[in-house]
Chains A and B, each alone.
Chain A
Amino acid sequence: MKVNMLSRVADGMFWLNRYMERTDGMLLTLNTFYILSFDKEMNDSQGYKPLLEYYTDLPMEQINQVQYDTNFVLKYIICDSPNYNSVKNLVIKARENARGSQDKITKELWEHINSLYHFMNSPDLPKKLETSDASNIISKLNKDFLLYNGILQVTMPRGLGWCFSSIGKHIERCLQTISLTQAYYAPIDYNLDGEEDLLYWRRLLLSLSGYELYLKSYSNIPHNRKVVQQVIFNRDFAHSVIYTLELIDTYLNSLFKDNNLSEARTLHNQFGRLKSYVEFTDYHHLTNKELEDILNNTRTQLIQFSTDFSKLFFSYT
């Protein structure tokens, strides 16, 4: 039987998963940087800078001042109310979207988001982050987001809602991968022939949950070109650009299966060109300039696609 979905609810499910994925990625990055901040010997030229640059709108001057200030970063990223992109605010926004689509998400998923919301709003959380409990809190949050993804996978029906959720989730993931990759390649002028060591790339790979896979797949130096291969072109890596684009394509095909609107066809073609751009890039012969371009262009085109996608499906007001 064909099931319809309210545009508002589809919008809610799309954004619920974008917010949850953004928070998940941000927490993973925070955890990585937090743990590595205890390695005093490490030659760390960036501190929390990549995290603050991508996930906050702090001015560069302030980022430079606080990039090594763990106490500030933990509180600002996790529970700062004025920071519109703090974990607390993103969870609030995710829950708002979950509330608006509560009849289409499962009870299990709702209860999990709801308990996360209550945890983030507990009054003593900021104080606890100043103590040795901070590590436990970040670990708990990381696990809560893993659990969210598990509940989503196991309980949600594979219908329209699943397609909108998955597209939102993977657009967000792809944008995070691109931005974090830029944060590590921009300081070295996208130099694919440079000799940055594994300690330099470890921060990026851990932030994308790809460190172990990298070690297993590419054991020899130099790393600069191999890291690109992993984070952009590796189809087995769940956070790579190509993997996320392929998943978006799969769910778009489901959505467009019975849709004969010309706007739908246009949007489908638009995404096809974007995916092909990455898919048919020859990364063995990639130049520094081409790397910079592919990251910039993919990011720009994906943001445009997300806007056009919303216009087509979510124009309910």
Chain B
Amino acid sequence: MMKSIPNLNPNGWDEMFSNEGVRESYRQVLQTLQNLNHDNLNDKHRQASDFFMNQGITFTVYSDDNQGIERIFPFDIIPRIITQSDWNEVESGIKQRLKALNLFLEDIYNEQHIIKDGIIPGALIASCPHYIQEVHGIKVPHNIHVHIAGIDLIRGAKGEFYVLEDNLRCPSGVSYMLENREITKRIFPEMLTSNHVSMVSNYPMIFHNILVSLSPRSISNPNVVLLTPGVYNSAYYEHTFLARQMGIPLVEGRDLVVNNNKVYMKTTSGLHQVDVIYRRLDDEYLDPLVFKPDSTLGVPGLISAYRQGNVALVNAVGNGVADDKAVYAYVPDMIKYYMNEEPILKNVPTYRMENLDEREMVFANMENMVIKETNQSGGYGMIMGNKATQQELEDAKIAIVDNPRNFIAQPIIQLSTVPCLIDGELKLRHVDLRPYALCGPNGVKIVPGGLTRVALTEGSLVVNSSQGGGSKDTWIVK
């Protein structure tokens, strides 16, 4: 096993090592790892892979002969550790941010004071493809629009946290947070105990309580369901996992019907009214009568029932306007405007390409910038200036000039690194962190942990699973 410190990036932050050696929070973990030989580590790695494969936590890759091969999302067995004091900052920063984002959504779909007061340009909102005019004026239970959020965080060169992205529509990955912990319990039980790692397994209970509290009907046992696009969706495992953990039915659009502005599910003993829908379906697929008419994934009439207040949707419809990458730049202003507070967590500096000065500055420094399409996610529609060819950069410039609203630019930030077990050795790889925040009538709750996504290719800063990323268990240690 590794006896020396891997080569550290002098311009970056490593979570396990500083220039002086191993950080205190990682001391025990490193010691345990150093006491294991190659075979031990490979056995644990294999055990983790088998666990994911047997659980069906897989995605399908199709070969030339159209034979599907199931693959797991890579899991690195070495945990990522965050100290309690760092976590406290993350937790309070996310709570503050989510309160502001909820206030923004309530405002933007009602009176729009933030536009009238000149804080955010009206044109920016009007041009946002995820601003849903059809839900303007709809009252949502307890004025909560974002019930579950995945906030992507990165750490800068000095270990400071930045918010990279807000995911306020259908954030995925929470099952990995929970399953990663389950596998760690099996492969490193003694390490978990001795490090006093905070529990994450109560997430489904907290979430279920919030879902029940949103029921429009005042009944003791409201009917809460999870709406999935179906078995071919890449996140289907997560949908089944959460439905099972919360003990709620997993429904598809074809299982639901709207009658007299009420939503019912088709059961073996007839129709039964549905009160709350945790939907894992994007806005545009929810209701073919309002959005995509050719989609069969949703439920005709659902938005009408929602408008009447007969069913609660989680998350609310239209949240995409708040996690648009161009609107992201205004979140610190929202915090100041709605809460009269300074943001606890910083944004990554973001340049709007509609602004000519900012655009020129970006064009002059393309190799130091990451260019992102504002309506894309999952690592798609992104150009890393330091990796792109000259031709790709020129093409990007043309596309930006053609439709500047569609792009933002950010300086390339060296994400922090964490050692990963690669080919039997510890090697540094870049990571981000997605904690999951839950908002209910009693405030915001964040389970101490999150999904650490890791870019497994050496030097890569792209952590998305769709781009070859993996994940790690994330420990908050006291």
Interface residues of A, Cβ cutoff 8 Å to B: 1, 4-10, 81, 96, 99-100, 102-103, 107, 110-111, 114-115, 118, 121, 160, 164, 255, 258-259, 313-314, 316-317
A4-B272, A5-B268, A8-B252 as given contacts; A103 in contact with B243, CB under 8 Å:
yes
B56 touches A4 (CB 8 A): no
Q: Are B249 and A107 in contact (CB under 8 A)?
A: no
Instruction: Tell me how far the C-beta of B73 lies from the nearest C-beta in chain A, rounded to whole angstroms.
Output: 16
A6: chain B residues at CB < 8 Å are: 249, 251, 255, 265-268
* Segment 247-288 of B: residues with Cβ below 8 Å from A: 248-252, 254-255, 265-269, 272
**Given A4-B267, A111-B55, A96-B231 contact (CB < 8 Å):** yes
Residue of B nearest to A98 (CB): B56
Given A96-B231, A99-B240, A107-B244, the answer on whether A7 and B54 have CB atoms closer than 8 Å is: no
Complex interface: chain B residues within 8 A of A316 (CB): 254-255, 266
User: Is B53 located at the chain interface by the 8 A CB criterion?
Assistant: yes
Segment 380-407 of B: residues with Cβ below 8 Å from A: none
From residue B150, how far is it (CB to closest CB) to chain A in Å?
Answer: 22
Q: Which residues of B contact A (CB under 8 A)?
A: 53-56, 67, 69-70, 221, 226, 231, 236, 240, 243-244, 248-252, 254-255, 265-269, 272
Task: Assess the A102–B250 pair: CB atoms within 8 A.
Answer: yes
Q: Is the Cβ of A7 less than 8 Å from the Cβ of B244?
A: no
Q: Offer 13 A-B interface pairs, CB within 8 angstroms, sorted by A.
A: A4-B268, A4-B272, A6-B266, A7-B255, A7-B268, A8-B255, A10-B268, A81-B67, A99-B56, A103-B243, A114-B53, A121-B70, A259-B269
Contact A103 B249 (CB under 8 A): yes
Nearest chain A CB to B186 CB, angstrom units: 14
Decide: B231 and A99 in contact? CB cutoff 8 A. Answer: yes
Complex Cα gap A263–B152 (Å): 54
Give the distance in Å from the alpha carbon of A168 to the alpha carbon of B69 in the complex. Answer: 30
Q: Which residues of chain B are within 8 angstroms of A164 by Cβ–Cβ distance?
A: 268
Give the total number of A-B pairs whose CB atoms are below 8 A apart.
70
Q: How far is the CA of A121 from the CA of B266 in the complex (A)?
A: 34
Do A7 and B240 have beta carbons less than 8 Å apart? Answer: no
Bound-state Cα–Cα, A274 to B249, Å: 35
Report A124 CB to chain B, min CB distance, Å: 13
Nearest-CB residue, chain A, relative to B65: A81
Bound complex: CA of A38 vs CA of B226, how far in Å?
Answer: 54
- A7 touching B266 in the complex, CB below 8 Å, given contacts A118-B70, A316-B254, A316-B255: yes
Q: Which residue of A lies closest to B254 (CB)?
A: A317
Contact B240 A5 (CB under 8 A): no
Contacts of B250 in A (CB 8 A): 9, 102-103
Residues B268 and A114 in contact, CB atoms below 8 Å apart? no
A89 CB to nearest chain B CB (Å):
13
Identify the interface centre among A4, A100, A107, A255: most chain B CB within 10 Å of its CB.
A4
Which 4 residue pairs across A and B have the least CB separation, nearest first? A102-B240, A4-B267, A103-B243, A103-B250
